[in-house]
Amino acid sequence: MKNILACTDFSSSGNNAAHYAAGLAKAAETKLILFHVCHLPVATGEVPIMAYDVAEIEKIALERLKKEAEGINKVFGIETAVEVTTGLLTDEVKDAAKKNEAGLVVMGTRGEGNAVGIFGGAAHEVIHRCGLPVLAIPGGATWRPFKKIVFASDLHKDEHPQYDILRRFANMNNAKVLLVSMLHKNETPSMEKAVAGVRLEHDFEGMRHEMLLLENDDTIEGLNKFVEEENADLLVVLPHRHNIFKRLFGTTHTQKMLRHAHLPLLALPETV
């Protein structure tokens, strides 16, 4: 498995995501890079942007990041690299991932005080633009080995995700992958969905898996109920063509999903 880039904004959620990433990095025997992006204050009539000392801002952030890395090293017994830069979050994450040969980006989904925060507001953009798998960690999530993974699919004919990271996650602990598609009550699957379902099962050949069609007119409610009943460790979605993802990251549905969920969400990019 390639390196893991863990983004933190120093909020409780960001730091929690970093600790989750550390547990994952240790289990996967891969390198962890703690990463922070400094944001310059917006210029006002009284204080222009150039008046702020970028080097000083980055120095302070780097010291905080080093302390976070020291804490992680004590808890998990792994060496952790640190990196600080200044700019737009999504662009900097993309560049840092390439520079550090990262195969996974880990982010928290909320800022301080349960507010959406920097990462919560930008997670959608990072997922769509960085071209890598992104693991979004709710504030209440703690690392535990993957034993049961729920893969939510719309069974669309044009779904062509990159499965490498999911295969690695499943093989780390011989996890079972539940391939789930949500249907409206009394809905009969179309021929297109049936064909896509067969292809999906073929894609997971050689892995422990089960295909399930679930009925619920409220997709998010249905998924919440299912992952809780199954005590799942990870929910996987496809962001680019995925109606489920759009609902998850719509304002109302994000709050509905994450208000009580402690389940990490892995967004897979599609093959080019």
Confidence at residue 202, expressed as pLDDT on a 0 to 100 scale: 87
pLDDT in tens, 17-28: 999 999 999 999
Strand order in the sheet with 234-237: 80-86, 32-38, 3-7, 102-108, 134-137, 265-267, 234-237, 148-152, 176-183, 209-215
**DSSP structure class, residue 161:** B
Q: Which residue has the higher pLDDT, 244 or 6?
A: 6
What does the DSSP 8-state code read for residue 270?
Answer: B
CA–CA separation, 125 and 119 (whole Å): 10
Let me know: does 74 contact 68? Beta carbons within 8 Å: no
Share of the chain above pLDDT 90, in %: 45
- pLDDT category, 193, cuts 50, 70, 90? confident
pLDDT of residue 117 exceeding 70, the answer is no
Position 185 confidence tier, pLDDT thresholds 50, 70, 90: confident
CB 37 within 8 A of CB 62: no
Average pLDDT, the chain: 82
Give dist(CA 96, CA 100) in Å, integer.
Answer: 6
Q: Please state, in angstroms and rounded to a whole number, the distance separating the CA atoms of residues 108 and 119.
A: 6
Confidence grade of residue 63 (pLDDT, cut at 50, 70, 90)? very high
CATH placement of domain 3-137: 3.40.50.620
* The model's pTM: 0.86
Instruction: Name which residue leads in pLDDT, 176 or 123.
Output: 176
Buried b / exposed e over 94-122, threshold 16 CB at 10 Å, is bebbeebebbbbbbbbbbeeeebbbbbeb
DSSP 189-211: PPHHHHHHHHHHHHHTTTS-EEE
pLDDT band at 259 (very low <50, low <70, confident <90, very high): very low
Is the per-residue pLDDT at 244 higher than 60? no
Residues carrying CATH 3.40.50.620, the chain: 3-137, 148-265
Mean pLDDT computed over 255-270: 68
Q: pLDDT tens across 204-221, in order?
A: 888 899 999 888 888 778
Architecture of domain 148-265: 3-Layer(aba) Sandwich (3.40)
**pLDDT tops 70 at residue 179:** yes
Please compute the mean of the pLDDT values over residues 74-96 and round it to a whole number: 94
Average pLDDT of 89-98?
94
Angle at 161 between CA 263 and CA 269, to 5 degrees: 70
Q: Are 118 and 89 in contact (CB under 8 A)?
A: yes
* Residue 5: both structure tokens together: 């880039």
Distance CA(11)–CA(198), nearest Å, equals 43
CB neighbourhood size of 51 (10 A): 9
Look at 51 and 11; give whichever has higher pLDDT.
11
Q: What DSSP element (H or E) covers 91?
A: helix 89-99
- Residue 248: pLDDT band (50, 70, 90) is low
